[in-house]
Structure 1
Amino acid sequence: MNQLYANNESETKQVAQELAKFLEPGDLILLEGGLGAGKTTFTKGLAIGLGIKKVIKSPTYTIIREYLDGRLPLYHMDVYRLEETGGRDLGLEEYFEGEGVSIVEWAKFIPEDLPTDYLQIKLQPAGQDLMEREILFHAVGEHYNQLLNLFLEER
């Protein structure tokens, strides 16, 4: 597992913005981390990197938010509320196989609905400052291994 550190929200966004350069249609990112870990902040950075101008909001109550005005569409999903029911009836595969980038928060609640290949990013507190984050990357599948290697080489 590869790791980076961010000292504040701005650096967390910057890491995500840099990653966005390497994303392609159909890419899937699973964002993990507790409440307040920086998942939405990371998504905001990805959106900036994709050229999305709209304000990014957490999709906690809507489950899926679509942002279509960037280099690639961004589908931001928070599936925390699907812990009991799963995501079978939401048509998630249409997003995962579509022309955009899908970001899924709390993916552990829908394992049977996920593709076999993805990039998992875990955000967790690091250090004394509450804004410091350790960002852990885990690529599953050849495509995501290549993507992660290209991203890390450029850093």
Structure 2
Amino acid sequence: MWKFFQGNDEEEQQQGYLLDETEGLCSLSPVQRVYAFAACSLSGLVCMFLSLIVFASPIKFALLFTFGNVLAVGSTAFLIGHGQQLRMMFDTVRVYATSIYLGSVLVALVCALLIHSKILTIIAIICEICALFWYSLSYIPFARRMVSDLTVRLFDTEI
């Protein structure tokens, strides 16, 4: 009993074995990761679609749309892991789009749940969609540059 409180090499080895064992329980196979990604993405898309049905109620709309949006974005964590997902989200290329996206998610929820303003909620949701679009373009090589060039040609302004 005293050795238990004192700690020894055998106990440290046993703790290491237990940690390895729990990591094995929490890890998913590649096929399970793809299924989880698909289920999470599909759930997000369903929530976003259902939010259009309750568009007249800003609280239900904002909750469903934002929850679906976050599910869809978070689904890629099943493929690459949550640590890598966070590192990629806050990479120098994506940090502004990520910050604007997370800020607009927060503003949309505040406008819907606390302020109860339909107009402000819709504006926040539009900002959320635009930020998500810009964030998503950062994963496609040269996509942001092409969109920026296109806006210069069409609207004489650069994004």
**TM-score range, shorter-chain basis?**
under 0.3
TM-score by length of 2: 0.24
Structure with more helix by fraction: 2
Q: Which has the higher contact order (CA 8 A, sep 6+)?
A: 1
TM-score by length of 1: 0.24
Flag the structure with larger Rg.
Answer: 2
